[in-house]
Amino acid sequence: MSDSINNINWYPGHMKKTRELIRENLKMVDLVVELVDSRIPVSSRNPIIDELTQGKPRLILLNKADLADPAETERWKAALLDTGKASKGAGNSAGVVSVLAMDSRSGDNLKAFYKVLEGIQAEVNARRQRNRPLRMMIVGVPNVGKSSFINRLAGKRSAKTGDKPGVTRGKQWIALENGMQLLDTPGILWPKFEDRQVGLNLAFCGSIKDEVMNAQDLGFELIKVLGTRYPDNLKERYKLDEVSDDALTNMEAIATKRGFLMPGRRIDYERTGRTVLDEFRTGKLGRITLEPAPAKE
Ligand SMILES: Nc1nc2c(ncn2[C@@H]2O[C@H](COP(=O)(O)OP(=O)(O)O)[C@@H](O)[C@H]2O)c(=O)[nH]1
Ligand SMILES: [Mg+2]
């Protein structure tokens, strides 16, 4: 289900257009649901999301939680809620109202999501003269799981509703099981490419094309991060006697254990890198969060 959008380069003109489109869509919704990758909650966030959604309550979903370290996800939930509250602007800016872990593949935690929505609906109703179903849109960078999540919500019960008065022509609303409405097209945001580590993190998670770096180098960079953050996972998965401070030593030990050798017993770095990347992405290396939650003050 990978998106062709991943091939898009985000030029300034492109960003401007996307920003305008999201602003237009924002006028029609009561709530923004921002999807983030639990394994890289910083790198998978758009830098201008706070500015873009100002004035709208926002719900952050730490998606792909099934692949992330549960203890880190708990810490991230608290940290993102704190910063979301701190980033509240002046006036009516609502900011982050809730942060939830989510697995869009299994639909795990969907109940909690609906429960939060109902709380927000009650607040919105209290402010309004006339009650009407909550409307929301989903935003996030490519590959974070927007389509998967929408499919989860839409399920079998879903019925696409046609144009409604006051709704821009051509916009489709998906009716959720509780009667609320979801804009069927998510807002696709760009990640912040300025930082090398952000680019690496997105590539580790398969969120940007592998061509940005060959598997040998990218795999090496991942082994470097894992050696510091999750040495036990490396040790266990590849039956290493010990994990070294030196990433190259670890890479060679993995290759040797797996028999990734070429004629003359030369190390096949390419295959080793590809294997570690693949086993990280599919969760075979365990539940891993690459970006640690900030320490509590
Ligand atoms: N393990 C896991 N994979 C997910 C989850 N959500 C999405 N994916 C996978 O991530 C990839 C990108 O998902 P997609 O919904 O196309 O992302 P989009 O670009 O934001 O629409 C697909 O291979 C999905 O199967 C999740 O919660 N857990
Ligand atoms: Mg999609």
Q: Which fold has domain 213-281?
A: Conserved Hypothetical Protein Ylqf; Chain: A; domain 2 (1.10.1580)
Contacts of 263 (CB under 8 A, 6+ apart): none
Q: Which ligand is nearest to the CA of 63?
A: 1
> Which DSSP state fits 73?
H
What b/e readout covers 35-60, taking b as 16+ CB neighbours within 10 angstroms? bbbbbbbbbbbbeebbebbbebbbbb
Atom 3 (ligand 1): residue with closest C-alpha?
64
Q: Options 3.40.50.620, 3.40.50.300, 2.20.25.90, 3.90.230.10; which CATH number does 4-188 get?
A: 3.40.50.300
Of ligand 1's listed atoms, the one at least distance from the Cα of 144 is 20
Distance 32 CA to ligand 1 centre (A): 19
Specify the domain boundaries for CATH 1.10.1580.10 within the chain.
Answer: 213-281
Strands (DSSP E) contained in 185-271 are 187-188, 261-262, 266-267
Strands (DSSP E) contained in the chain are 31-37, 58-63, 96-101, 135-140, 160-161, 173-175, 181-183, 187-188, 261-262, 266-267
Atom 6 (ligand 1): residue with closest C-alpha?
145
Q: Which two tokens stand for residue 242?
A: 């010990």
pLDDT tens per residue, the chain (297 residues)? 334 344 456 778 888 888 898 999 999 999 999 999 999 999 999 988 888 887 789 999 999 999 999 999 999 999 999 876 655 544 444 689 999 999 999 999 999 999 999 999 998 888 888 888 999 999 999 999 999 999 999 875 444 554 444 444 556 899 998 899 999 889 999 888 778 899 999 999 998 876 668 999 999 999 999 999 999 999 999 999 999 999 999 999 999 999 999 999 999 999 999 999 999 999 999 999 999 999 876
Ligand 1 pocket, residues with Cβ under 6 angstroms: 1, 3, 63-64, 66-67, 103-105, 140, 142-148
Specify the domain boundaries for CATH 3.40.50.300 within the chain.
Answer: 4-188
Rg over CA atoms, the chain: 21
In which element (H, E) is residue 138 found? strand 135-140
The pLDDT tens digits for 206-217 are 988 766 689 999
